[in-house]
């Protein structure tokens, strides 16, 4: 039986990290150490783990990294004050507020409070607007979709005129993913939980990108033979094993290429975050 190419996100991430480390060294020689700050509100164990792995990676690559942790019941004002301080801190080039935030905090207020030039997640309306308008020039773009574009390019997946179907429409993944693919001349469909016949839509996809958080939502009958399948979802099954939104074992048998979980999109997200932090540090020099 013909099996899909397994897209090796871990290996690609290593290559990107090596280049980032090189760029950090060059910047440090010019007395600029790229700095990233992560804000984490609450005690969610998974969020804590991801935040730590981001921090560890930043330090390994020679960057400055600070973590601001707040309890679950923290007020919006406290978080806004922390952002204000980081906005004014010249040693910090990238600010990331880990999602999700507790209900008493308005995520819109928080994303708009980060100065656009340090908005490494690309959540600020100014950066989202520039992406949507496909403006030229330097601005940050959400790391997960940006990392997926890097993966598609590395595996020479054609985009022009291809039908890309995205399942999930969050501001973290689905929406910026749709914008990037439209900007790359793909034909883009975006599904959410109201979508009438999800399988009928996903079956049309040349490129299928799934970001829902519903483990194994996508089965073999959802996928056109020969499609490229990108799995963003991260879920823990009953045994605590990490699984994606795609039933990998079934879909691998008919896809042309597929990303695994773990070892696919996840490591690329972190590598892209580090890469973009370096870019923000460089851009801050250009703009004074």
130-139 burial, b for 16+ CB within 10 Å, e for fewer? bbeeeeeeeb
Residue 173 interacts with ligand NDP (CB under 6 A): yes or no: yes
SS3 222: helix
SS3 65: strand
Does 56 appear as a known binding residue?
A: no
Stretch in the footprint of ligand NDP (CB under 6 A) among 26-34, 103-111, 123-131, 190-198: 190-198
Residue 258 interacts with ligand NDP (CB under 6 A): yes or no: no
Does 5 appear as a known binding residue?
A: no
Stretch in the footprint of ligand NDP (CB under 6 A) among 113-121, 176-184, 201-209, 232-240: 232-240
Tokens of 74: 């923290």
- Please select the residue that binds ligand NDP; options are 194, 239, 240, 287, rule is CB under 6 A: 194
Report in angstroms how near the CB of residue 78 gets to ligand GUE at its nearest: 18
> Which DSSP letter does residue 168 get?
-
CB 19 within 8 A of CB 56: no
d(CA 236, CA 64) in angstroms, rounded, equals 31
d(CA 214, CA 177) in angstroms, rounded, equals 18
- How many CB atoms are closer than 10 A to CB 142? 30
Residue 191 interacts with ligand NDP (CB under 6 A): yes or no: yes
Residues whose CB falls within 8 Å of the CB of residue 8, separated by 6 or more in sequence, listed in order:
263
Catalytic residues: 54, 98, 121
- Please select the residue that binds ligand NDP; options are 21, 195, 203, 284, rule is CB under 6 A: 195
Question: Which among ligand NDP, ligand GUE, none contacts residue 97 (Cβ within 5 to 8 A by kind)?
Answer: ligand GUE
Question: Which among ligand NDP, ligand GUE, none contacts residue 121 (Cβ within 5 to 8 A by kind)?
Answer: ligand GUE
Residue 211 interacts with ligand NDP (CB under 6 A): yes or no: yes
CB 264 within 8 A of CB 143: no
Does 230 appear as a known binding residue?
A: no
- Which alpha helices (DSSP H) does 61-187 contain, by range? 76-88, 107-113, 125-132, 143-154, 174-183
Residues at the interface with ligand GUE (CB under 6 A): 50, 96-99, 121, 143-144, 172, 234, 242, 261-263, 266-267, 269-270
Q: By the criterion CB under 6 A, which residues form the site for ligand NDP?
A: 144, 167-170, 172-174, 191-195, 198, 211-214, 217, 232-235, 265-266, 269
């Amino acid at each position: 039986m013909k099996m899909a190419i397994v897209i090796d996100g871990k290996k690609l991430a290593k290559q990107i990290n090596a280049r980032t480390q090189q760029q950090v060294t060059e910047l440090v020689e010019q007395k600029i150490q790229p700095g990233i700050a992560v804000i984490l509100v609450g005690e969610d164990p998974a969020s804590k783990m991801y935040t730590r792995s981001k921090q560890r990676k930043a330090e390994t690559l020679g960057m400055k990294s600070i973590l601001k942790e707040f309890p679950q019941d923290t007020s919006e004002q406290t978080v806004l004050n922390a952002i204000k301080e980081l906005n004014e801190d010249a040693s910090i080039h990238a600010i990331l507020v880990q999602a999700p935030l507790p209900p008493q905090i308005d995520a819109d207020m928080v994303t708009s409070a980060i100065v656009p030039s340090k908005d490494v997640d690309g959540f600020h309306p100014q950066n989202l607007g520039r992406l949507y308008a496909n403006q030229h020039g330097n601005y940050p773009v959400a790391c997960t979709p940006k990392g997926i574009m890097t993966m598609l390019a590395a595996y020479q997946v054609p985009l022009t005129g291809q039908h890309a179907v995205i399942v999930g429409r969050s501001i973290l993944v689905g929406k910026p993913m749709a914008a990037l693919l439209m900007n790359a001349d793909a034909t883009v469909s975006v599904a959410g939980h109201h979508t009438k016949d999800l399988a009928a839509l996903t079956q049309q996809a040349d490129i299928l990108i799934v970001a829902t958080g519903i483990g194994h939502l996508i089965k073999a009958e959802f996928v056109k033979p020969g499609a490229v399948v990108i799995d963003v979802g991260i879920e823990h099954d009953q045994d605590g094993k990490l699984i994606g939104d795609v039933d990998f074992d079934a879909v691998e048998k008919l896809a042309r290429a597929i990303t695994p979980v773990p070892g696919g999109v996840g490591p690329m997200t972190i590598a892209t975050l580090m890469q973009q932090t370096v870019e923000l540090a460089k851009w801050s020099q250009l703009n004074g």
